[in-house]
Structure 1
Amino acid sequence: MAVFGALLLARPPAGAFAAELIMLEQQGCAWCLRWHKEIGGIYPKTEEAKIAPLRFVDIHGQWPEDLAGIRREAFTPTFVLVEDGQEIARMRGYSGDEFFWFLLGEMLAKLPKS
């Protein structure tokens, strides 16, 4: 039991990652659905996900407190790369997997080198 408790304490809370990729979406968004079908299942297994874990935010839901400094968006899907609460880059729309991976690479290249 103590080991399980230690594992829970070692797990970072939501939003604790230095960088995150925020997907802004809304119900009924056909391009969001296409992204989920083409990319959603594999993203968590990628090197990109290790750098910027993915988090989903409904644009019509309550805006997360930790994203207070991030501008809301009306167009979905929109992907916002955030590091330490600051927007690094933004990608509006989804027009296929190859374009997505290319633009995501460009976005990740803007992260400060550690």
Structure 2
Amino acid sequence: MSRVAALCLGLFMAFQSGAAAAALELVMVEQTGCPWCARWNDEIGPIYSKTEEGEAAPLRRIDIGELPGGMDLDGKVVFTPTFLLVEDGRELGRIEGYPGEDFFWGLLARLLGETPGATLVPQDRSR
């Protein structure tokens, strides 16, 4: 196999594994003026992407009025924030509202623990 073909194959394989890992995501449904969304943004937002949870399920934000029609949801999203654990456009679970930092991490860990292929190393977030 030529070097160019090997390089192309290697890049293709790297892209495929990255694409597969990104299939799972945490969708935050929010709206302007939501005080609980603002609280989540202050307490969790700055660190979420740096956690194992953030690596396993990267965050995507969607305004409640702009939910994509192609998402396969278990029910209508009524409250903000609502956190949807989504894989390939299909809802696997949700957290409605923001119950505070301690409860959020526990609920999210439970959702991820029920999801095949999403493995996490527990973190101590005590201050």
Q: After superposition, where does 1:36-75 map in structure 2 within 5 Å?
A: 36-61=41-66, 63-64=67-68, 66-67=70-71, 69-70=72-73, 71-75=75-79
Which protein is richer in helix relative to its size?
Answer: 2
Which one has the largest radius of gyration? 2
Please report how far the alpha carbon of residue 72 of structure 1 lies from its aligned counterpart in structure 2 after TM superposition: 3.6
1:50 and 1:83 map into 2 onto residues whose CA distance is: 14
Q: What percentage of aligned pairs have identical amino acids?
A: 50
Q: Which secondary structure does the structure 2 equivalent of 1:82 belong to?
A: strand
What is the CA RMSD across the aligned residues, in angstroms?
A: 2.2
Provide Cα deviations, 1:15-71, integer angstroms capped at 9, x if missing partner: x8220000010111000000000000000101101100000010023x23552x224
Question: Structure 1: any 5+ residue segments left out of the alignment?
Answer: 1-5
- Structure 1's consecutive aligned runs of 4 or more residues displaced over 4 angstroms after TM superposition are none
Distance in 2 (CA, whole Å) between partners of 1:45 and 1:66 is: 29
Secondary structure at 2:117 match in 1: coil
Identify which of structures 1 and 2 has the higher relative contact order when contacts are C-alpha pairs closer than 8 Å and 6+ apart.
Answer: 1
* 1:107 maps to 2:94: no
Number of positions where the alignment pairs a residue of Structure 1 with one of Structure 2: 102
5+ long unaligned stretches in structure 2: 1-10, 119-127
State TM-score, norm by structure 1.
Answer: 0.79
Q: TM-score, normalised by structure 2?
A: 0.71
